[in-house]
Structure 1
Amino acid sequence: MATMRAARLNITDRTLSVTDVPRPTPGPGQVLVRVKAAGVCLSDVHLIDGGLSPLYLKGDTVTLGHEVAGVVEETGPDVTDVSVGDRVALQAGEHDRRGRVLTRGVDYDGGWAEYALAREDTLVPIPDDLPFEQAAIIPDAVSTPWAAVTTTGDVRPAEAVCVWGVGGLGAHAVQLLRLAGAAPIIAADPDEQARERALAFGADVALDSTSADFLTRIGQLTHGRGLDVAFDFAGVPIVREQAVQVLGEHGRLVLVGLTSKPLEVQDGTRFSYLRQQVLGHYGSEGRDVVQLVDLVRAGRLDFSRSISGVFSLEQAPEAVERLQNRVGSPVRLVLRP
Structure 2
Amino acid sequence: MGIGTTGPRAPLRHSAGLGEAPLMTDTMQAARLDLRTGTFAVEDVPVPEPGPGQVRIEVKAAGICLSDVHLIDGSLTPVHATADKVTLGHETAGIINALGPGVPGPWTVGQRVLLQAGERCGSCAACTRFEPCPAVRTRGVDYDGGWAHYALASAHTLVALPDDLPFAQAAVIPDAVSTPWAAITTTGQVRPGRPAGVWGIGGLGTHAVQLLRLAGAAPVVAVDPLASARDRALAAGADLALDPADPALRDHVLAATAGRGLDLALDFAGVAAVRDQAVRCLSHGGRLVLVGLGREPLTVTNSIAFSYREQHVLGHYGSAPAHVEELVALARLHRLDLRDSITATLPLAEAAQGVEQLRTKTGDPVRIVLVP
Could you say whether these structures have the same fold, taking a TM-score greater than 0.5 normalized by the shorter chain as the test? Answer: yes
**One-letter identity of the residue aligned with 2:79:** L
Within 2, Cα distance between the matches of 1:238 and 1:220? Answer: 22
Shift of 1:269: 1.7
What's the counterpart of residue 118 of structure 2?
A: 93
SS at match of 1:88: strand
Q: Percent identity?
A: 59
- Within the alignment, does 1:282 sit opposite 2:331 as a pair? no
Matched length = 337
SS at match of 1:130: coil
- Within the alignment, does 1:265 sit opposite 2:300 as a pair? yes
* Equivalent of residue 13 in structure 1, options 31, 37, 61: 37
* Equivalent of residue 232 in structure 1, options 239, 253, 267: 267
- TM-score, with normalisation over the residues of structure 1? 0.99
**One-letter identity of the residue aligned with 1:90:** L
**One-letter identity of the residue aligned with 2:309:** L
What's the counterpart of residue 26 of structure 1?
A: 50
Q: Unpaired segments of 5 or more residues in structure 2?
A: 1-13, 15-25, 125-132
What's the counterpart of residue 204 of structure 2?
A: 169
- Within the alignment, does 1:38 sit opposite 2:73 as a pair? no
Deviations for 1:179-221, whole angstroms, at most 9, x for unmatched residues? 1100000000010110010011000011111112112111211
What's the counterpart of residue 237 of structure 2?
A: 202
Q: Unpaired segments of 5 or more residues in structure 1?
A: none
- TM-score, with normalisation over the residues of structure 2? 0.90
Within 2, Cα distance between the matches of 1:144 and 1:308? Answer: 19
Within 1, Cα distance between the matches of 2:305 and 2:272? Answer: 20
Shift of 1:59: 2.0
* Equivalent of residue 138 in structure 2, options 91, 103, 109: 103
* Equivalent of residue 125 in structure 1, options 112, 136, 160: 160
**One-letter identity of the residue aligned with 2:250:** L
Within 2, Cα distance between the matches of 1:137 and 1:85? Answer: 21
- Within the alignment, does 1:73 sit opposite 2:97 as a pair? yes
What's the counterpart of residue 215 of structure 2?
A: 180
- Runs of 4+ that moved beyond 4 A: none
* Equivalent of residue 213 in structure 1, options 248, 251, 256: 248
* Equivalent of residue 107 in structure 2, options 78, 82, 85: 82
Within 1, Cα distance between the matches of 2:165 and 2:260? Answer: 41
Deviations for 1:207-244, whole angstroms, at most 9, x for unmatched residues? 11111211211121112111101100011111001011
Shift of 1:330: 0.4
Shift of 1:40: 0.1
* Equivalent of residue 55 in structure 1, options 62, 79, 86: 79
Deviations for 1:63-112, whole angstroms, at most 9, x for unmatched residues? 00000000000001111221000000000000012232000000000000
What's the counterpart of residue 172 of structure 2?
A: 137
SS at match of 1:172: helix
- Within the alignment, does 1:336 sit opposite 2:371 as a pair? yes
- For structure 1, which segment, 50-59 or 211-220, has the greater mean C-alpha deviation from structure 2 after superposition? 211-220
SS at match of 2:59: strand
